[in-house]
C-alpha cells in the first residue's frame, strides 16, 4: 500500500478530519484529552487570539495509507520575523524566539 502526506490548514478541512483524529487518539497507547482534535482547536484558537495578524496558523500533517488516516502531526505555522517574512512549522506551543 502507498502512503501520502497531506497538509490541513483551514477549518473546513479540519472539520473533515475530526472523526479520524479522535479515532487515532482513542486507540493510542496513552489516550488523553490533549491528543484530541478539540484540544488542538482550542489551543490554536488561543494562540491566534493572543497573536493577531496571522502570526500563528493551524498546520496539520495527515499521513494516509490509501484512503485511511493512519497518523496526524498537529503543528502550527508561525511567522518568525516581523522584518522579513520568515515562517516556521513547529509544535503548537508558545516560547521566546
- Could you tell me if 9 and 59 are in contact, meaning their C-beta atoms sit under 8 angstroms apart? yes
pLDDT at 65: 96
Task: Measure the CA–CA gap between 54 and 37, rounded to whole angstroms.
Answer: 21
The pLDDT averaged over each successive group of 10 residues in the chain (97 residues) is: 91 90 92 89 84 80 95 87 76 57
Joined together, the cell numbers standing for residue 18 give: 475530526
pLDDT at 97: 43
* Cα-based distances in Å from 5 to 9, 37, 46, 65: 13, 18, 26, 9
pLDDT at 94: 54
Task: Tell me phi and psi for residue 63, to 5 degrees.
Answer: -95, 125
The domain spans of the chain are 3-91
Amino acid at each position: 500500500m502507498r502512503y501520502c502526506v497531506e497538509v490541513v490548514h483551514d477549518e473546513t478541512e479540519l472539520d473533515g478530519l475530526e472523526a479520524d483524529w479522535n479515532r487515532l487518539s482513542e486507540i493510542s497507547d496513552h489516550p488523553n484529552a490533549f491528543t484530541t482534535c478539540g484540544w488542538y482547536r482550542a489551543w490554536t484558537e488561543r494562540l491566534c487570539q493572543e497573536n493577531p495578524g496571522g502570526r500563528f496558523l493551524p498546520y496539520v500533517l495527515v499521513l494516509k495509507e490509501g484512503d485511511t488516516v493512519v497518523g496526524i502531526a498537529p503543528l502550527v505555522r508561525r511567522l518568525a520575523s516581523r522584518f522579513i517574512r520568515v515562517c516556521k512549522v513547529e509544535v503548537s506551543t508558545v516560547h521566546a524566539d
